[in-house]
Structure 1
Amino acid sequence: MSSSLTSRRAFLGGSLLFVGGVALAACGKDDAVKAGAKVMLEQWYHAYGEAGTQQAVIRYAKEYTKANPDVAINVTWIAGDYSAKLHSTLLTPKAPDLFEIGDFQYIDVKNGLFAPLDDIVKGQEAEYSKASMDSASVDGKLYGLKMMDDAMVLYYRKSVLEKAGIAVPQTFAELAAAAKQLTSREQKGLFIGSDGIGNAAYLLLWSNGADLLAPEGKKVVFNSPEAVAAIAGLKQLHDDKSLLLDFTTDWGDPGAFIQGAAAMQWSGLWAMPAVKKALGDDFGVIAWPKFGDTGRPVSRIGGWFAVANSKSKHVEEAKKFIEWLWIKQTDLQKDWCVSYGFHVPARKSIAAQTTEFASGPAKEAADVLANTSRAYPNLWNTAMDSVFAQAIVKIAKSGGDAKALLDEAAVKCQAELDKQLA
């Protein structure tokens, strides 16, 4: 898992266990023919790290074929750079009929790679977070259906804060002060990533009412006065020397928090089972605190979308399977989210029925996700990400002028945005 701004997509699509692509036949082609299936759907997943996930997706596919004998599904498990392999294969006759995708990209829709899913989601829109719906929508049409939500939250050690007489931070000023006060020779106050950057730049600007792009998506706005003021806060954390740097694991892994190397850590809901096993009830989670009185607390939402290949010969069959699994099958959606890893079901009604999120820090995280989550706009691409990242590093670590650096980065990113929209 990666903390750098430029490798956030590698984090979303990375594998912890596998090397190379592995085809996992839910129903092999010969078996499908013998069983009378008229359609064979090819389905791709990235190689999840949680044990049991590959067996689960095969089981789901078999259950679908049992209920729909005319359709068989061949599952392929892809490790390594899933996004690169998917996008190169989508341009060939070997492209899968349906697949999953992490960060949703406008250019994929512009290039005609994804089929719209509005017809299968109609009437269900309110079941999904606005952040996820906006991320997967282009020109009013929906092109991806959320499979599960990953909440990213700020973990804090209750006993450490209580011993120091520190209340749970509600503003960035309180967070910075707490991190400084909790820093000692043995422990740093805050871990946001081994590079000292992580998601913090995004969180800071969002928490001060700023954004990467204007609401209509046609203008870069991360150099607004609100954004400049908030992102300068990252330099404060570095100047205070309250950040844990160069730890052996990155922000997605709870190792630094569990080992007591940091009193607070930004990480994901997926880390909670390991944190609870190590620390019991001695922790809590909150959103990233608001920046100043006019700001608001925020969190990042991650997870994966189910997508149908617009160029497939079996688009309708692929969409029917997506609808069956990710809208109609309540039990299977719960199974996918909490039986292997730890994710919030994307559909709000199912999340409300999932007892694992009924109390304690898990409920706190689910509430954070429901009330404060933000996602990257689908027009925000890797090139823009890289330019922004370079400016952030100079601001945080080299004392560069935040306004000048963000203005310069905004000009470059605007050119890239205009190119996408042309």
Structure 2
Amino acid sequence: MISPVRPPARRIAALFGTVALALAAGGCGDGTDNGSATDKVTSITALDYYTDEAEHAQWSERLSACGETAGVKVKHSSVPGPSLVPKVLQQASSRTLPDLLMLDNPDLQQIAQTGALTPLDQYGIDSSGFAKGILSAGTYEGKVYGLAPTVSTIALVYNKDMLSEAGVAVPRTWDELKAAAAKLTRPGRYGMAVDANATFEGSWQFLPFLWSNGGDEKRLDTPQAAQALQLWVDLVKSGSMSKSVLNWNQADLHDQFVAGKAAMMVNGPWRIPAMNELKNLRWGVAPIPVPRAGQTPVTPLGGEVWTVPQNASKAKQEKAAQVVACLNDPANMLAQAKQRFTVPSRAAVAAQYAQQVPSMAAFVKSVEEARSRTSELGVKWPKAATGIYTAIQLALTGEQTPQEALKHAQQIATSS
């Protein structure tokens, strides 16, 4: 799942210089072990943002098991998502980075840019069989710095009973989506729901519509981008989608859907466990509708990558790399995917998973063509994301046309 909140860009930029100077002055670490790769290492530290008690416990168990394989104890700690990047930059500047670091995949670029991470190829970690988009999410300037054991994306979730009662087929194209949403809309219920709020989550939800129509984050003020935004405007204008989507996040979409107030929504597989608990809710998942029949939707990749930071101790780096390799082996990928309702990053494991967990098949299919949000713009992605969600707000409130709003978005994306 993605983290919708990011630390202020200016604060991050201000820390870059400090981090670079510190890294130039010497390696990172806690100072207790600065020997060679043959030194005896009994423990390493790991940092992530899994503060939820259940998730933290799951990851502690998995890290411990992989640590045992590597012959070390893993001391696992977590900080809230919005705090992770600032903390990592501060640790880099003070040379106190953990030995093993998890990052939300869009954040890898800015951390790798500081020189705080080590390329994984130097440890001989096997990255074969990973989808191109997934490897891209962990890559900076041609080198792989992070690997994601599993990933996620978004798809169309629909209420089977509502579609059946309305005589509506699962929509595959934009025209079908508009027609289906209109037929499913009635007092107290909207046909369609998306997250259009003013955060990176709103931008994330818009990307499948932008990308599948040939739009590009490198140039937001194009006819292809305007057509995608016009689709959302049309859904709101027609009454098929609530104006409240301007304030809803993905959790809100889920609440509307399970309460019967939305017949369809765009959301991720992390909602499946909660939906499975509702015995009276019959739901299905399909790929996000595309502009024209026969096209394949292009969706954004979510998920976290595990990295090995620079450290004064080469021995600790080697042990951390062994844990990364363990987390990314096929058996662990499959186990994590089943536990967390995510998609294994190796294509062969993902195909096996889709057969074993049919409710995840649409997500597995979408991941095949999914893209990293930073693959085109790298560290400049946050500005484009800000431009996108600003344009969505302006267009859906009627303050500007999609064309005008996206022209403004391009200005934001290219501002200094």
Sort the TM-score into its range (normalised by shorter chain): 0.7 to 0.9
CA displacement at 1:140 relative to structure 2: 1.6
CA contact 1:208–1:295 (8 Å) conserved in 2: no
Q: Distance in 2 between matches of 1:255 and 1:56?
A: 25
**1:71-91: CA deviations, max 9, x gaps?**
332111223523333333232
Helix, strand or coil: the match of 1:386?
helix
Structure number having the greater strand percentage: 1
- Counterpart of 1:238? 236
Alignment of 1:49-64 (within 5 A): 49=52, 51=54, 53-64=55-66
Q: Distance in 2 between matches of 1:139 and 1:92?
A: 25
Q: Distance in 2 between matches of 1:84 and 1:75?
A: 18
CA contact 2:120–2:144 (8 Å) conserved in 1: yes
**1:312-369: CA deviations, max 9, x gaps?**
5333332222113323xx4433333323x32122223333344x75253222332233
Q: Distance in 2 between matches of 1:176 and 1:73?
A: 51
Among 191, 194, 198, the residue aligned to 1:192: 194
User: Does residue 135 of structure 1 match 2:137?
Assistant: yes
Q: What amino acid is aligned across from residue 375 of structure 1 in structure 2?
A: S
- Counterpart of 2:249? 250
Q: Distance in 2 between matches of 1:110 and 1:413?
A: 19
Q: Distance in 2 between matches of 1:207 and 1:333?
A: 28
User: Does residue 209 of structure 1 match 2:214?
Assistant: yes
Q: Residues 411 and 245 of structure 1: is their aligned pair in 2 closer, same or farther, counting only changes over 3 Å?
A: closer
CA contact 1:198–1:251 (8 Å) conserved in 2: no
- Counterpart of 1:350? 349
CA contact 2:110–2:379 (8 Å) conserved in 1: yes
- Counterpart of 1:360? 358
CA displacement at 1:145 relative to structure 2: 0.4
Helix, strand or coil: the match of 1:230?
helix
CA displacement at 1:406 relative to structure 2: 1.9
In structure 1, stretches of 5+ residues that fail to align are 11-28, 30-35, 214-220, 417-422
Helix, strand or coil: the match of 1:285?
strand
Q: CA RMSD in A?
A: 3.0
Q: Residues 50 and 44 of structure 1: is their aligned pair in 2 closer, same or farther, counting only changes over 3 Å?
A: same
Aligned length: 374
- Counterpart of 2:262? 262
Moved more, 164-173 or 271-280: 271-280
Q: Distance in 2 between matches of 1:283 and 1:388?
A: 30
Q: Distance in 1 between matches of 2:393 and 2:191?
A: 20
**TM-score, structure 2 normalization:** 0.79
Alignment of 1:381-396 (within 5 A): 381-396=381-396
Q: Residues 193 and 389 of structure 1: is their aligned pair in 2 closer, same or farther, counting only changes over 3 Å?
A: closer
Q: Distance in 2 between matches of 1:363 and 1:292?
A: 22
Q: What amino acid is aligned across from residue 111 of structure 1 in structure 2?
A: T
Helix, strand or coil: the match of 2:93?
coil
CA contact 2:158–2:264 (8 Å) conserved in 1: yes
**1:180-215: CA deviations, max 9, x gaps?**
2211112111111274956443222112011212xx
Structure number having the greater helix percentage: 2
Q: What amino acid is aligned across from residue 304 of structure 2 in structure 1?
A: W
Q: State the structure with bigger RCO (CA 8 A, min sep 6), 1 or 2.
A: 2
In structure 2, stretches of 5+ residues that fail to align are 8-31, 33-38
Q: Distance in 2 between matches of 1:385 and 1:349?
A: 32
User: Does residue 76 of structure 1 match 2:77?
Assistant: yes
Q: Distance in 1 between matches of 2:53 and 2:114?
A: 33
- Counterpart of 1:44? 47
CA displacement at 1:103 relative to structure 2: 3.1
CA displacement at 1:64 relative to structure 2: 4.1
Q: Distance in 1 between matches of 2:212 and 2:166?
A: 26
**1:32-75: CA deviations, max 9, x gaps?**
xxxx9535321112125362x33343334443454444x33211
Q: What amino acid is aligned across from residue 323 of structure 2 in structure 1?
A: F
Helix, strand or coil: the match of 1:300?
coil
Helix, strand or coil: the match of 1:309?
coil
Q: Residues 88 and 244 of structure 1: is their aligned pair in 2 closer, same or farther, counting only changes over 3 Å?
A: farther
- Counterpart of 2:403? 403
- Counterpart of 2:29? none
Among 152, 155, 158, the residue aligned to 1:156: 158
Q: What amino acid is aligned across from residue 321 of structure 2 in structure 1?
A: K
Q: Residues 58 and 158 of structure 1: is their aligned pair in 2 closer, same or farther, counting only changes over 3 Å?
A: closer
Q: Distance in 1 between matches of 2:192 and 2:388?
A: 23
Q: Distance in 2 between matches of 1:225 and 1:37?
A: 60
CA displacement at 1:236 relative to structure 2: 0.9
